[in-house]
Amino acid sequence: MNYRHLIALVIPLAFALPATAAGWPEGAKNEFVNECVTGAQSSHSQEQLQAFCECAADKVSNEFSAAELEAMRNQSQPDPALQQRLVTASSSCNSKLQG
């Protein structure tokens, strides 16, 4: 099954993260996960979406430095190389969507 629609959702969320996302300031990770779950219009269960979005948040914070996240936030057009890294990191969470 193709989960690119959910991965595509993670990309704009990651570009809106605070620069300190690598260390997740108070409430930032929960906000990311909640926006991810809310924005995912999918046939997956709430629990599956929650697990996917939490995994994606962890992968993004592990994959990108605070400086990279700040650079993404300040770009008007996302860098394709950074987008690919986001897709790759988030793709590893696809197993969370299988029931």
pLDDT in tens, 54-69: 998 888 888 877 777 7
pLDDT number for residue 84? 84
Q: Which two tokens stand for residue 97?
A: 């969507």
Q: pLDDT class for 24, splitting at 50, 70, 90?
A: low
Question: Could you give the 3-state DSSP secondary structure of residue 3?
Answer: coil
pLDDT number for residue 23? 59
